[in-house]
Amino acid sequence: VRYGNAVLVDARGDRYAMQTGYADGRITLRADRDVLDRVAFPVVVDPVLMTFTMDTSASYDLSQPDIAFGLTDRRYMVAWEFRNSASDYDVLAAAVDPSGIVIPGTAAWIDISTDSWQTPRIAYNYLGNRFLVVASVVPTGGGDASIKSRARNSANTGAGVVQQISGGDGGSKVSPDVGGDFAMFAPTYFAVVWQPSLSASDTDVHYRMVGGDGIPVGTAQVIDNSAATLDLRPRIANVLNAIAIVY
């Protein structure tokens, strides 16, 4: 769903553009004073909502979509799960232009292996002009999940090699998230966060930095490693070389 410009429609059917703003988690719609002095009440605010379909593969279950916007090429990139079988989920990504049109020829696999890539998340790095897709990955044949990533070019379907993000921090690593970076000067990074699930009564939060080229930097770091606490579903924002993580 794309949220477009809002329009005020009065009782005569006359239409007036409104100002749209976003701050503190709220969308604000404003009409100028001179507009309100002219309109015939009652009025209706008509935000433009646009929907678009990314994939019409009716024979497969598609789920867990995520989206990020790339400034340089002015396009969104959408990533989603593609269910091949009960034990094998793959990940696709495709670009959408600002008007909500899926750009032909941009759909490409992030993963099509026999490993199972689940709950993909995507973010954008301005200086590298790349997207990074991360996922919780269960190896072929089963076992504990790890966090892996793959960079995807903004301008074309080129992609980097799959990277191992999580380390030997124990348990299955789930609930990944990734933050991008819109800084215009190097160095810039992605930041990846996840939840190591050690037991039914103990989950932690770890993270790792990834360069704008999609290559991991350093080693995994601990946000929370306390025993016998449930620290769940971390989410991250990364901008201007600063990160914020909530869980």
pLDDT at residue number 13:
86
Per-residue buried b or exposed e for 52-62, using 16+ beta carbons within 10 Å of the residue's own CB: eebeeeeeeee
Tens of pLDDT, residue by residue over 3-36, are: 667 888 888 889 898 888 877 777 788 899 899 9
pLDDT at residue number 49:
61
- 214 pLDDT higher than 70: yes
- Helix ranges (H only) for the chain are 33-38
- Quote the percentage of the chain above a pLDDT of 70: 94
Tokens linked to 46 = 């008509």
pTM to 2 decimals? 0.80
Query: Cα-flanking dihedrals φ and ψ of residue 37, to 5°?
Result: -75, -25
Average pLDDT, the chain: 90
- 236 pLDDT higher than 80: yes
* Residues 51-57, mean pLDDT to the nearest whole number: 71
Tally of residues, the chain: 247
Tens of pLDDT, residue by residue over 68-109, are: 999 999 999 999 999 999 899 999 999 998 878 899 999 999
Which residues neighbour 104 within 8 Å (Cβ) at sequence distance 6 or greater?
A: none
Helix (H) or strand (E) holding 62: strand 62-70
Find out whether 198 and 191 touch, Cβ atoms under 8 Å: no
- 145 pLDDT higher than 80: yes
| DSSP code, position 157 | S
- Quote the percentage of the chain above a pLDDT of 90: 64
Collapse the DSSP code of 109 into the 3-class scheme (helix H, G, I; strand E, B; otherwise coil) and give the result: strand
- 205 pLDDT higher than 80: yes
pLDDT at residue number 1:
57
Pairwise CA distance, residues 30 & 22, whole Å: 11
pLDDT at residue number 4:
66
State yes or no: cis peptide before 187, omega within 30 of 0. Answer: yes
Which whole-number Å values give the CA distances from 119 to 90, 91, 96, 197, 212, in the listed order? 10, 9, 20, 15, 22
Tens of pLDDT, residue by residue over 146-190, are: 999 999 999 999 999 999 999 888 899 999 999 999 888 888 999
What is the band of 48 on the pLDDT scale with cuts at 50, 70, 90?
low
Pairwise CA distance, residues 216 & 11, whole Å: 58
Pairwise CA distance, residues 10 & 5, whole Å: 16
pLDDT at residue number 231:
93
